[in-house]
Amino acid sequence: MERELIYMDNSATTAVYPEVLEEMLPYFNEEYGNASTLYRLGVNAKKALNKAREQVATLINADPSEITFTSGGTESDNFAIKGIALKEYKNRTEENPRNHIITSSIEHPAVLETCRFLEKYGYEVTYLPVDETGIISLEDLENAIKDSTILISIMHSNNEIGTIQPTKEIGRIAHEHGILFHSDAVQSVGKIPVDVVDQNIDILSLSGHKINGPKGIGAIYIKKGVQIETFIHGGGQEDGVRSGTENIPGIVGLGKAAQIAYENLDEHAKHDQEIRDALIEGVTSQIKDSYVNGSIEHRLPNNVHFRFSGIEGESLILKLDDEKIDGATGSACSTHDLKGSHVLAALGIKPALSHGSLRLSIGQENNIEDVDYIVKSIKKVVDYLREISPLWDNKNDEYIGDRFEKPLDDEDLDRY
Ligand SMILES: *Cc1c(COP(=O)(O)O)cnc(C)c1O
């Protein structure tokens, strides 16, 4: 019998849960109303919209009025950062340009590229470094704050290496200085407790397709009282915060996915973590020169990120695909970019080594019974790739890439 695909790229995207799809389906045809209209169809759409808003709010301990639906995590990140930058544009004075943003060097491109964009328009951005496990220093954060700082945007957890930031302390520091705190929590929601009140978060981004909801839908949480400029203008939907006829099927799907995530948070995390820890144990004990990138302690339960010296990630992914295992390599979001991952570079990992990395991100359909097969397959593929690699000495069974390696140059480090 042919083996079924083992999908372990749930940080890239997830399958829509059957219950989520079922909930969405009527809103494509029977209940196709526009939520802004007054007859029954429209009222039904409005009711569905409100229910989903409550489900999303509950997941992050917000009030439903603080949730606005967007087209996904990317739009929410853009909204948060550009929205605050534009709002503060009006508050500039001769003495205080109110144009400084603090973020980290390992953010998702949706944050980094938005910051880069704003730099072209006179905003100043500090990209905080991280330690070798991917965590920012609170002291660095304090030191980076200036009178002109308007926003601190630090991700809740990292999409590549799964490192969880000390969000609560970051928020506390932001608030001590009267600065707003935005967190990209796309990878955290549904995986670990995300509580906007307890964790001092003013603005938060989340996305549907990372939590077994549909693609092209997300939400932004904006704390009551936070002034932000809208950047999608039109018919005034979503309380005027984000115009455009609401994507009701998508919103209903996101709501249902949020409800499932909320009700099963502990159980899902336990399931994922068991598989994660078995993979770490199996791989690091059976494969020579294999390492785990990121933090072991402050890590998402569903993320494991390995590094194997002497091999190249793209070949690893393709060979694993032959074994019916889908994972990701160091450059998950930029397969067009031959440079190593900006996240691994920020951890101080040299490009040649970061290329030999493998992210496995776990979902509910993965089974602990498959771990043995997965570890064996990875070992088989790594052994094969090392055998044909010029960076591996087969006679002595060791990595010799250091002989060819040039140190990280400024260009590598300055990418973000
Ligand atoms: C996937 C992801 C995004 C982008 O979300 P989309 O809904 O795909 O636009 C943003 N930030 C992080 C951390 C992500 O993992």
3-state secondary structure (DSSP) of residue 407: coil
The model's confidence at residue 404, banded by pLDDT at 50, 70 and 90, is confident
Residue 139 is predicted with a pLDDT of 98
- The Cα 333–Cα 344 span in angstroms is 13
Question: Smallest Cα–Cα separation from 197: which of 50, 62, 20, 361?
Answer: 62
133 Cβ neighbours under 8 A, 6+ residues apart: 163, 294, 295, 298, 347
> CA of 14: how far to CAs of 211, 257, 398, in Å?
7, 11, 37
Per-residue confidence band for 415, with pLDDT thresholds at 50, 70 and 90: low
The per-residue pLDDT for range 328-369, each reduced to its tens digit, is 986 544 445 556 789 999 999 988 788 899 999 999 999 999
Query: How high is the pLDDT of residue 332?
Result: 44
Return the percent helix, strand and coil in the chain, to nearest 5.
Answer: 40, 15, 45
Confidence (pTM)? 0.95
For position 333, what pLDDT does the model report? Answer: 45
Distance set, CA 267 to CA 17, 210, 274, 371 (Å): 16, 18, 11, 19
- CA 79 – ligand 1 centroid, Å: 13
Q: Of 69, 49, 67, 46, nearest to 58 (Cα)?
A: 67
Which tokens belong to 387?
Answer: 């055998």
Q: Are strands 124-128 and 100-104 parallel, antiparallel or unpaired?
A: parallel
Mean confidence (pLDDT) of the chain: 94
pLDDT of residue 410: 65
C-alpha of residue 92 to centroid of ligand 1, in Å: 31
Closest CA to 162 of 264, 375, 371, 306: 306
Question: What pLDDT digit, counting tens, does each position of 205-229 carry?
Answer: 999 999 999 999 999 999 999 999 9
8 A C-beta contact, residue 355 and residue 313 = yes
Q: Ligand 1 pocket check: which of 11, 70, 74 to mutate, most ligand atoms within 8 Å of Cβ?
A: 74
Taking the centre of ligand 1 as the mean of its atom positions, its distance from the CA of residue 209, in whole angstroms, is: 9
The rounded percent of the chain whose pLDDT value lies above 90 is: 90
The minimum-distance atom of ligand 1 relative to the CA of 110 is 10
Dihedral class, residue 216 (left if φ above 0, else alpha if ψ from -120 to 50, else beta): left
pLDDT (mean) for 300-310: 96
Cα 186 to middle of ligand 1, angstroms: 6
DSSP 329-391: -TTTT-TT--S--HHHHHTT--HHHHTTEEEEE--TT--GGGHHHHHHHHHHHHHHHHHT-TT
3-class secondary structure, 282? helix
- Tokens for 129? 């470094």
Q: What is the pLDDT of residue 329?
A: 87
Average pLDDT over residues 399-405: 82
Token pair, residue 31, equals 């209940």
> Which residue's structure tokens are 């670990």?
192
pLDDT digits (tens, 9 = 90+) for 166-187: 999 999 999 999 999 999 999 9
Given 265, 333, 400, 413, which residue is catalytic?
Answer: 333
CB atoms within 10 A of CB 337: 11
pLDDT confidence band for 405 (50 / 70 / 90): low
- Residue whose CA is closest, atom 15 of ligand 1? 159
Q: Which two tokens stand for residue 90?
A: 């009006």
Percent residues over pLDDT 70 in the chain: 94
**333 in catalytic set:** yes
Q: Which of 157, 150, 167 is nearest to 201 (CA)?
A: 167
Return the residue matching tokens 């569903």: 302
- Candidate from 9, 56, 112, 210 with most ligand 1 atoms within 8 A of CB, to mutate: 210
pLDDT tier at 322, thresholds 50, 70, 90: very high
Lowest mean pLDDT among 232-241, 278-287, 312-321, 398-407: 398-407
Number of neighbouring beta carbons within 10 Å of residue 393: 15
Contacts of 196 (CB under 8 A, 6+ apart): 60, 61, 62, 66, 204, 221, 223
Q: Whose CA is nearest to atom 3 of ligand 1?
A: 73
Please spell the DSSP secondary structure of 28-85, one letter per residue. TTTT---TT--SHHHHHHHHHHHHHHHHHHHHHT--GGGEEEESSHHHHHHHHHHHHH
Q: Ligand 1 atom closest to Cα of 215?
A: 7
Cβ density class 351-386: b for 16+ within 10 Å, e for less: bbbbbbbbbbbbbbebeeebbeebbebbbebbeebb
Over residues 6-50, the pLDDT tens digits come to 999 999 999 999 999 999 999 999 999 999 999 999 999 999 999
pLDDT at 20: 98
pLDDT range class, residue 402, cuts 50, 70, 90: confident
Structure confidence at residue 204 (pLDDT): 98
pLDDT at 33: 93
Of 237, 102, 125, 116, nearest to 182 by C-alpha is 102
What is the total residue count of the chain? 416
